Amino acid sequence: MIPFSKPEIDLSNKDLKEIGLIIKNGKLCKGEYIRALENYFKDTYNVKYAKACCNATNGLIIAFKATNLYNTFVVMPSFTWPSTLYAVECSNNIPVWMDINTDTWNMSGSATKFGNEIKRSDYYKKYIRLISTGEENEVYSVSGSILVDIFGNMSYINVPTTAVTIYDAAHSFGNKLLGNRGTVEVVSLSFTKPITSMQGGMILTNNDTIFNKISELVDLSAKMCEVNAFIALKEIEKYPIKRDRRLEVINRYRQYIRVPIVEQKIEYSTNYSTYSVLFESRDKRDKIVNKFKENGIESKVYYEPLIHGLKNTDEVYSRILSLPTYPSVNKHVKTICDLINKA
């Protein structure tokens, strides 16, 4: 079996001994490695505050609570992982669905779309989405938005300064814009991301009041453990090498795939957290998926839209396939590409 994701955490005997000492000393949270990890994010991304947390989903939930974004309408893409929606709904918010760009796969839109263009699509449904057909429906005001860096491709939308903007930067470790977009950004350090602490996240903000609320909420229910912070720091040391090796894998895909594909357009920067491509048709994509299953290769068809009916989102999802990119999969790339070409 060739898995889609494999963390490949590389710890020395010295590192393992240090983990044992952390456990033995009993300082399992809020210790030196947590502080070191938070300081790394502050210094590297020139952001005023960084707060480590147990995972990015809880980080997003806390971001909504800390910014007082609740009982309102929140702009978000349908093309994202369900945990983004979960965070929106945990504060009793209702999503306003926005379509994506067909090239970047990030949410499309501008400040003008936070006004009268946002309308309810169906009075009897909980969800609302952006309507571009000119339908006469009731108009709702929107208090905030959550943007998602799809597969590590940095997103950015100009919004009114009064609007709360939360960035789901789960895949975005290492990217240039990180730390200085919107009101709050949340990075994931889970085992599927470019840098892992096994499980964990980091909440970033430049707002004093919001940071105080974030700190209080994290300390109540979402603290990261020292062992996780230690592993994250060790992973960060190796990040440049792992990033380059992941890009080697991607370049080999580019070399050996012979059928037509379309890659994600990079507007600002990317860390190639996930390598996804569009094939010429749903039929071709599905044949490849079936061929992979027959040969014990795991791939991902995501993100499945959280709501259907958005033209670009549905089109991208119908043809997309994400391929494994962890370093040790390199030896299997030629086999994977042969199956793609023959499907």
Shared domain for 191 and 89, answered yes or no, is yes
Shared domain for 252 and 208, answered yes or no, is no
CATH classification at residue 283: 3.90.1150.10
Q: Name the domain count of the chain.
A: 2
Shared domain for 53 and 198, answered yes or no, is yes
> For residue 45, what pLDDT is reported?
97
> For residue 162, what pLDDT is reported?
63
Shared domain for 44 and 157, answered yes or no, is yes
> For residue 160, what pLDDT is reported?
59
Full-model pTM: 0.91
Q: For residue 277, give the amino acid letter.
A: V
Shared domain for 186 and 304, answered yes or no, is no
Shared domain for 183 and 200, answered yes or no, is yes
> For residue 159, what pLDDT is reported?
61
Shared domain for 215 and 264, answered yes or no, is no
Shared domain for 150 and 62, answered yes or no, is yes
Shared domain for 72 and 156, answered yes or no, is yes
Pick the closest to residue 41 from 144, 220, 224, 175 (CA basis).
175
Residues facing residue 96 across a β-bridge: 75, 128
Domain that holds residue 52: 13-237
Six-digit token string for 317 = 């999802």
Residue 130: in which H helix or E strand, if any?
Answer: strand 128-130
Residue 217: in which H helix or E strand, if any?
Answer: helix 208-221
The answer as to whether 271 is a domain residue is: yes
The answer as to whether 8 is a domain residue is: no
Residue 16: in which H helix or E strand, if any?
Answer: helix 13-25
The span from the CA of 162 to the CA of 199, in Å, is 33
Six-digit token string for 339 = 């199956």
Shared domain for 170 and 89, answered yes or no, is yes
Domain closes at, from 196, 217, 237: 237
The span from the CA of 220 to the CA of 217, in Å, is 5
The answer as to whether 3 is a domain residue is: no
Six-digit token string for 332 = 């299997």
> For residue 94, what pLDDT is reported?
86
> For residue 267, what pLDDT is reported?
86
Mean pLDDT by groups of 10 residues along the chain of 343 residues: 94 97 94 98 98 98 96 89 95 88 83 39 39 42 81 77 85 91 96 95 98 98 98 97 96 98 92 95 98 98 92 96 97 98 96
Six-digit token string for 222 = 């979402």
> Could you say which DSSP state residue 207 is in?
-
The answer as to whether 2 is a domain residue is: no
> For residue 158, what pLDDT is reported?
66
Residue pair 150/168 in contact by the 8 Å Cβ criterion = no
Six-digit token string for 226 = 């020292």
The answer as to whether 209 is a domain residue is: yes
